[in-house]
Amino acid sequence: MIIKIINETQNQECDVLVVNKFENEKTISEIANKYAVEEDNFEGKFGETYILPTYGQEKHRKVIVIGFGKKEEFNPNKLREAIAKAVKKAMSIEAKTVAFKLDGIEFDYSEQFTMGAKIADYKFDKYKSEKKDKDVKEIFVEANESIVRKAEKIADAMAFTRNLANEPAQFATPTELASIACDLGLETKVYDKEECEKMGMGAFLAVGRGSSQEPKFIHMKYTCENPKKKIALVGKGITFDSGGLDIKPASSMLTMKDDMSGAACVLGVMSIIKELAPQVEVHGIIAACENMPGCSAYKPGDILIAKNGKTIEVDNTDAEGRLTLADALCYACELGVDEVIDIATLTGACMVALGSQAAGIMGNDTEMVKALIETAQRNGERFWELPLWEEYADSLKSDVADMKNTGSRWGGAQTAGVFLQKFVKDVKWAHIDIAGVAFLESVHKELCKGASGAGVRTLLNYLLEV
């Protein structure tokens, strides 16, 4: 999909002209006012659409009127959602060229317009032998060129992440993630099993032992002149989570190819970072492996030694993400960065608490957590803070080691959070649990089913705003 910036979009020759209508107000199109408003009583409730033909009287073959709802309730997030709806509608009538004439909007809509149009354009059909070509090829809009181009890059990064997380585990292996990382044109180091052993990553390596796939520890680095800050992004990279010997029931395993969504997010961010060029040094870190119950698998009761020397009794092999993250967080903290942000499909408990409406966020620095929540809110994602009270660590006590890898079932997202905190040293840190939002079971606003690209928009904007 190409977005072209022009003046006077209503005079552009195209298949469809999209105009907006606020509730109880007229649209900019006379014919839409006549047919949609006067004759058919189309009110313009939020997200409603109305299609009308122009019988060769106009440069556009059809008009789509999109309801923007009440003007006083309208905002950039609603705009993005409505634009995505309009693009989907245009696709449904096989329009190839679509012009937008938007009117009466009291903010610069360039950014969220682009996000809405591009997100609506995403599909994962690479394994379909018959592809439905319903794509809109060209979009014409009156907008700010440089903002549109920046937003296009962020949307491309989201699509990159969604493709990776939608990819079946048979292809998206740790080795494949490492090779993708190496192709991003950044300074990248991939550590193999032996090198991870030398670094003392006993927790990460234990998780990968039951699989025939080799574990890979990936470190990508982006630098610029005089960075204002140094930030490490750590993504959970379990390319398939069977649960290990504490094997999951079949139905819970169905979507577990998505257990590398955190890693996919970090790769998506790193894929576009050179082009967006934020004024920060950014490290992308992924401990990638598969959690399988093979004959060398780690077992309940095993005691693992993490990179920082702490010992962990394995209580449940399905709480594997925090073990891989433990070593990855130790590694990140040793880089001497100012901030560490980890992003992970970590707990079913977070999904129970917040559903698919929000990611959970925890951290040791109120300002940083607040900034991330606000950036998310402005960019169409929701992060909701959960408490990291130290009492949550009580149930992690072990009789034989420094801690167990699981605690009480209740408050499971926070228990996982305080577990991770034991591997964070002298740095501002935030943990984002995307278990409920990374892979959608049904359409959610502008997002279709499947991988959602959770975290990409927020983290890229966060880096750009430093």
Q: Does 321 bind Zn ion (CB under 5 A)?
A: yes
Q: Does 345 bind ligand BES (CB under 6 A)?
A: yes
Window 197 to 256, contacts with Zn ion (CB under 5 A): 238, 241
Q: Does 349 bind ligand BES (CB under 6 A)?
A: yes
* Least distance from ligand BES to the Cβ atom of residue 247, Å: 11
Closer Cβ to Zn ion, 344 or 354, answer by number: 344
Asked whether the beta carbons of 320 and 244 are under 8 A apart, the reply is yes
Window 254 to 313, contacts with Zn ion (CB under 5 A): 259
Strands of 146-241, DSSP E: 187-191, 216-222, 230-241
Two tokens at 77?
A: 């997030």
Closer Cβ to Mn ion, 289 or 460, answer by number: 289
Q: Does 176 bind Mn ion (CB under 5 A)?
A: no
Which of 152, 241, 342, 433 is in the footprint of Mn ion by CB under 5 A?
241
Nearest C-alpha neighbor of 188 from the set 79, 91, 282: 282
Query: At which residue do the structure tokens 């181009």 appear?
Result: 149
Q: In the stretch 227-246, what mask flags binding to ligand BES with x, by CB under 6 A?
A: --------------x-----
Residue nearest to Mn ion according to CB distances in the complex: 318
Two tokens at 348?
A: 């079913």
Q: Does 342 bind Mn ion (CB under 5 A)?
A: no
Q: Does 348 bind ligand BES (CB under 6 A)?
A: yes
Q: Does 81 bind Mn ion (CB under 5 A)?
A: no
* Least distance from Mn ion to the Cβ atom of residue 353, Å: 17
Applying CB under 5 A, the site for Zn ion has a residue count of 4
Asked whether the beta carbons of 64 and 51 are under 8 A apart, the reply is yes
Contacts 24+ apart (CB under 8 A), 177-180: 177/216, 177/218, 177/237, 177/239, 177/260, 177/263, 177/267, 177/286, 177/288, 178/216, 178/218, 178/288, 180/267
Asked whether the beta carbons of 340 and 364 are under 8 A apart, the reply is no
Closer Cβ to ligand BES, 360 or 412, answer by number: 412
Q: Does 339 bind Mn ion (CB under 5 A)?
A: no
Which of 318, 339, 342, 446 is in the footprint of Mn ion by CB under 5 A?
318
178 makes contact, choosing from ligand BES, Mn ion, Zn ion, none, with CB < 5 to 8 Å by partner type, with none
**CA distance to 94, 178, 261, per residue, from 265 (Å):** 32, 14, 6
- Active-site amino acid positions: 248, 322
What are φ and ψ of residue 306, in 5° steps?
A: -80, 170
Nearest C-alpha neighbor of 452 from the set 159, 203, 208: 159
Closer Cβ to Zn ion, 144 or 316, answer by number: 316
Closer Cβ to ligand BES, 19 or 207, answer by number: 207
455 makes contact, choosing from Mn ion, Zn ion, ligand BES, none, with CB < 5 to 8 Å by partner type, with none
* Least distance from Zn ion to the Cβ atom of residue 321, Å: 4
Residue nearest to Zn ion according to CB distances in the complex: 241
Q: In the stretch 388-407, what mask flags binding to ligand BES with x, by CB under 6 A?
A: ------------------x-
Two tokens at 202?
A: 């006993």
Window 252 to 291, contacts with ligand BES (CB under 6 A): 259
Nearest C-alpha neighbor of 329 from the set 340, 313, 318: 340
What are φ and ψ of residue 330, in 5° steps?
A: -55, -45
Applying CB under 5 A, the site for Mn ion has a residue count of 3
Q: Does 111 bind ligand BES (CB under 6 A)?
A: no
> 26-55: buried (b, 16+ CB within 10 Å) or exposed (e) per residue?
ebebebbbebbbeeeebebebbbbbebebe
Closer Cβ to ligand BES, 31 or 304, answer by number: 304
Closer Cβ to ligand BES, 15 or 318, answer by number: 318
351 makes contact, choosing from Mn ion, ligand BES, Zn ion, none, with CB < 5 to 8 Å by partner type, with ligand BES
- Alpha-carbon distance 20 to 29, whole Å? 9
Handedness of CA 315, 320, 321, 325 (dihedral sign): positive
Which of 244, 262, 278, 412 is in the footprint of ligand BES by CB under 6 A?
412
- Alpha-carbon distance 180 to 146, whole Å? 28
Asked whether the beta carbons of 50 and 36 are under 8 A apart, the reply is yes
Nearest C-alpha neighbor of 291 from the set 365, 327, 239, 235: 239
What are φ and ψ of residue 412, in 5° steps?
A: -60, -30
Which of 54, 144, 163, 316 is in the footprint of ligand BES by CB under 6 A?
316
Closer Cβ to ligand BES, 218 or 256, answer by number: 256
- Alpha-carbon distance 440 to 452, whole Å? 7
Cα 72–chain centre separation: 29
Residues near Zn ion (CB under 5 A): 238, 241, 259, 321
Residues near Mn ion (CB under 5 A): 241, 318, 320
Residues near ligand BES (CB under 6 A): 241, 259, 316, 318-321, 345-349, 351, 406, 412, 435
